[in-house]
């Protein structure tokens, strides 16, 4: 059996079956076909402009690549494992379509710079799509927050009732998190937007290529500056996976809250049948499976980052076949994140808060104790530590009587601190509490409305840009 004609005469026999099994990547890197063809068209256009190939050959190659793209798009293309990867599959089909001219396409490049370019294009395209999805999720959250800016709910620390907040304020916290996620992706995109094409195998090429031209044609800011680094760098994938992992962690935290909120014990939020499932044996169940799966998929995404870090950590310059292991993790992680964002946006738009239950829960656990302490400081001019001590005694008295703070009599409070006046009751209700939190970034409904409107205005502006 002859050697693989695509990579030449050095080998006189076909690879062993097990070698083919471990070596082939077409099963997953066919996802790069659009980027591979895009890069090849830019490369051959540059070769023709530089006089390295004829205009006729360049035209035939470009038209042939368009036909290959159409075949793949329609599902008429047969991918071959014996041809290893997407690059060889495309080039082999191109040779059958246009003949010997196809062999000129690979002039002044290597599969090393080719795959590095393809991967950057793929990750860049995906990051751009993720940014649009994250903006949509932010919009869903901000709209819901604006609708429920004054819906009082318990705020938690240690998952214990801490202070009253509003549902809108809680949702806006995730808008801020997602804003940082988008910023990280954009920052990673800026650094990845350099073109490796033309670095060839590792040392550059002796052909008079124009790397600025191919970089510009592919939408990159500039060509990469060092050929060794160009073919061996996977920082762009690692940074994107890092941003994806942090984003997935944020989504997982929110998913966990949805799981908790929808339990009968909390009953703070309802999800419709669209985002819940039933039980095969318990007819009363409504399981928040979408939220649970968002929570679980964060493990896959974070695992992909860890996996690629381990792949890269011991590799000497420049390229090594180990880097083939970047693709499946990147593809899976970014696809999983996209699905999680879509599911979360759907749940946000679907969920309905049980506002009365929320308000009742907000008053449990003496959640306005801090308001009492603040009143003692503000009105009676107590040092905060003294006010904290007095408040603790009053809470103890309320607990002994099994009453909320606002249900204690003035006489009861004055038995602890005689200077307390009737005015204290102005700060003890949960609604009064949240309205008082007017400091910048606080939970007061006026603040929440202002922040939600600010974000919605910013998101609308982004859409128009």
Annotated catalytic residues are 158, 279
Is the peptide bond preceding residue 191 cis, with omega within 30 degrees of 0? Answer: no
Q: How far is residue 430's CA from residue 346's CA, in Å, rounded to a whole number?
A: 30
| 8 Å CB contact between 232 and 315 | yes
The CA-to-CA distance between both ends of the chain, in Å, stands at 58
- Of 372, 442, 451, 455, nearest to 166 by C-alpha is 442
- 3-state SS string for the chain: CCCCCCCCCCCCCCCCHHHHHHHCCHHHHHHHHHHHHHHHHHHHHHHHHCCCCCHHHHHHHHHHHHHHHHHHHHCCCCCCHHHCCHHHHHHHHHHHHHHHHHHHCCCCCCHHHHHHHHHHHHHHHHHHHHHHHHHHHHHHHHHHHHHCCCCEEEEEECCEEEEEEEHHHHHHHHHHHHHHHHHHHHHHHHHHCEECCCCCCCCCCCCCCCHHHHHHHCCCCEECCCHHHHHHCCHHHHHHHHHHHHHHHHHHHHHHHHHHHCCCCCCCEECCHHHCECCCCCCCCCECHHHHHHHHHHHHHHHHHHHHHHHHCCCCCCCCHHHHHHHHHHHHHHHHHHHHHHHHHHHHHHCEECHHHHHHHHCCCCCCHHHHHHHHHHHHCCCHHHHHHHHHHHHHHHHHHCCCHHHCCHHHHHCCCCCCCHHHHHCCCHHHHHHHCCCCCCCCHHHHHHHHHHHHHHHHHHHHC
């Amino acid at each position: 059996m002859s050697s693989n004609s695509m990579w030449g005469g050095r080998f006189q026999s076909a690879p062993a079956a097990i070698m083919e099994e471990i070596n082939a990547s077409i099963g997953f890197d066919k996802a790069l076909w659009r980027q591979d063809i895009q890069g090849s068209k830019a490369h051959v256009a540059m070769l023709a402009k530089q006089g390295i190939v004829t205009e006729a050959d360049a035209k035939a190659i470009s038209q042939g690549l368009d036909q290959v793209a159409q075949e793949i798009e329609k599902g008429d293309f047969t991918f071959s494992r014996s041809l290893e990867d997407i690059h060889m599959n495309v080039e082999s089909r191109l040779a059958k379509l246009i003949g010997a001219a196809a062999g000129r396409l690979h002039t002044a490049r290597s599969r090393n710079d080719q795959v590095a370019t393809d991967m950057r294009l793929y990750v860049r395209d995906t990051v751009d799509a993720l940014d649009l999805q994250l903006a949509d999720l932010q919009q869903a959250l901000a709209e819901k927050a604006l609708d429920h800016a004054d819906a009082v709910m318990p705020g938690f620390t240690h998952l214990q009732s801490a202070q009253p907040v509003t549902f809108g304020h809680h949702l806006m916290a995730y808008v801020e998190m997602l804003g940082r996620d988008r910023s990280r992706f954009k920052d990673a995109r800026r650094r990845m937007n350099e073109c490796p094409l033309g670095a060839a195998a590792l040392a550059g090429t002796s052909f008079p290529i124009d790397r600025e031209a191919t970089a510009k044609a592919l939408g990159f800011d500039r060509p990469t500056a060092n050929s060794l680094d160009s073919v061996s760098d996977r920082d762009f994938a690692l940074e994107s996976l890092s941003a994806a992992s942090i984003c997935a962690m944020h989504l997982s935290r929110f998913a966990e809250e949805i799981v908790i909120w929808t339990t009968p014990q909390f009953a703070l939020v309802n999800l419709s049948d669209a985002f819940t499932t039933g039980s095969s044996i318990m007819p009363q169940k409504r399981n928040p499976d979408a939220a649970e799966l968002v929570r679980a998929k964060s493990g896959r995404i974070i695992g992909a980052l860890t996996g690629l870090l381990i792949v890269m950590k011991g590799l000497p310059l420049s390229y090594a076949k180990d880097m083939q292991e970047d693709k499946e993790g990147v593809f899976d992680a970014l696809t999983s994140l996209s699905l999680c964002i879509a599911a979360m946006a759907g749940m946000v738009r679907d969920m309905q808060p049980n506002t009365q239950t929320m308000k009742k829960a907000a008053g449990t656990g003496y959640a306005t104790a801090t308001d009492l302490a603040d009143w003692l400081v503000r009105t009676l001019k107590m040092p905060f530590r003294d006010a904290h001590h007095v408040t603790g005694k009053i809470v103890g008295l309320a607990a002994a009587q099994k009453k909320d703070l606002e249900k204690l009599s003035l006489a009861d409070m004055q038995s602890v601190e005689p200077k307390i006046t009737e005015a204290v009751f102005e700060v003890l209700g949960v609604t009064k509490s949240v309205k008082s939190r007017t400091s910048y970034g606080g939970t007061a409904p006026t603040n929440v409305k202002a922040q939600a409107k600010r974000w919605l205005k910013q998101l609308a502006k982004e859409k128009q840009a």
